[in-house]
Structures are given as structure tokens and as C-alpha cells.
Amino acid sequence: MHLTEAEWLAGIQFLTATGEITDDKRQEFVLLSDTLGLSMLVIAQNNRKPPGATEATVFGPYRVANPPECESGADIANGAVGQPCYVAVQIRGLRGEPVPHAAVEIWQADADGLYDVQYAGNTDMRARATMRADAQGRVAFKTVLPEAYPIPADGPVGRMLAASGRDVWRPAHIHFMIDAPGYEPLVTHLFRHTDQYLETDVVFGVRSSLVTQWHRHEPGATPDGRASAIPFYTLDHVFVLNDAPA
């Protein structure tokens, strides 16, 4: 068994098409790496964590540079569609110490399973922000409940998945990137515990430690001291950062 000329040409055409569809809003090569499991393999090899530290997972193709800077407690949805969701996280070190003033970047899809950059003609940054933790390592924000979504399947990666009979869905999640002096940077997700795609994530990004409880509440008082006329969700989580190498 050896590679035929026709197979070699098909591979070259596939890679060429992957490059042609890539632009400033769509990174098909990252998507290809993710769906082949290569991204997660590289992350696992280079982000080994001691017991108790939060696991890393895939970066994903939808992070953008220079997201809005917001104060903790802000509503970062900025018009994104979806049910209200209040998130409160604390950032700690391995010894339980709070990590003060960590830089925290957040990005996510909305109720339609779309990131802001996927909407044609949209120039607003929605459901993404950068904020700074307080002296106790705490960050809180209001956003919308993320939903599961299919990865873009209208390009060469989608054709590859269809040819191999694979699913195209990612379970609902919020991305976090956390950076603080003295600690290793962390890129990770928090996944909704009720999602049907946790076992079949197309980019192999789910880790059981990152599957978290998202609590539904009836209309009433919200964590920011206001009130919601519709049902809303809350998510509370503690991130544990690994020490930076000496």
C-alpha cells in the first residue's frame, strides 16, 4: 500500500481549499487542526497540570484580538441573543491562595450557536470581553446562556467530516483565558453539564473536570441585585492556576 498520485493531488487540493477559505474572520486551518485532534494533542503534551489545577483545552478559531475591556460585574452580552446568564468565578493558586488582579478574557457563542464574528456585516463585539479580577481573585459578569453549535461545515473541513461520517457539533461552553504574574497562563472552557454533545465533541476538547453545573432560576432577584422578568441561569466556578516554572 502506498500513496497514489491521485491521492496526493487530492490532498494538495484539500489543503489549497483550506487556505482559500481562510480569512480574517475564519481560520479553517485551526478548524482542521481541532477536528483532527491535533490541537488537543499539542495542548495535552504542553500543558500537563499537577493534581488540583484546572485543565487546559483547545483555543478555538473564534477568539479575536482586543476585545472590549469591562469592569467586573458588567453585562458583556452587548446585544447577543439568549437567556440571561450570571457567571461568577474565583481564581486561586494550588495552595488555595486567591490570585489578585488576574487578566481574564471571555468569549462564547449565543443562543443561535453563533459567535459575533459569524454574523455577516456585524462589526460589534458581543459576548466577549477582557476584565481584571479583584484583590480576592474574583470576576463576575452577565452574559447569555451559550448553546451547542455545529462547526462551519460549508468548507473543506466540513466535507472531510461528512466523508468520514463524523458529527459536527460542539457542546455549549464559555471560553476563558487567564493570565497572572507568577502563574502559568490558562486557556480553557466551562461546559454545560446537560449538553447532549459532551461525549462527541468534534474537536475533542471536553474534559470531565471542565463540565460544570449551570443552575436555572425562575424570574426574580438576580446575583447583581436586580430582578429578571424571565428565567435566568447562574454559573459559579473556581479556576486553579498552576505555578509558573521557576
**pLDDT value of residue 1:** 80
What pLDDT shows up at residue 8? Answer: 96
pLDDT attached to residue 246? 80
Burial 129-166 (b: 16+ CB within 10 A, else e): bbbebbeebbbbbbbbbbbbbebeeebbbbebbeeeee
Domain that holds residue 36: 5-241
How many structural domains is the chain composed of? 1
pLDDT of residue 24: 80
pLDDT at 158: 96
Judged on CB neighbours under 10 Å (0-12, 13-18, 19+), 72 is middle
Per-residue CA distances from 85 to 127, 140, 238 (Å):
11, 11, 17
- pLDDT digit string (tens) for 46-70? 989 999 999 999 988 789 899 999 9
Which parts of the chain have pLDDT scores under 50? none
**What gap in Å lies between CA 40 and CA 56, rounded to an integer?**
9
pLDDT of residue 67: 95
Distance CA 186, CA 225 (A): 30
Computed over its alpha carbons, how large is the radius of gyration of the chain? 19
Q: Where residue 179 sits, what CATH number does that domain have?
A: 2.60.130.10
Cell of 4: 497514489
Q: Say if strands 220-221 and 84-93 run parallel, antiparallel, or are unpaired.
A: unpaired
**For residue 246, is it within any domain?**
no
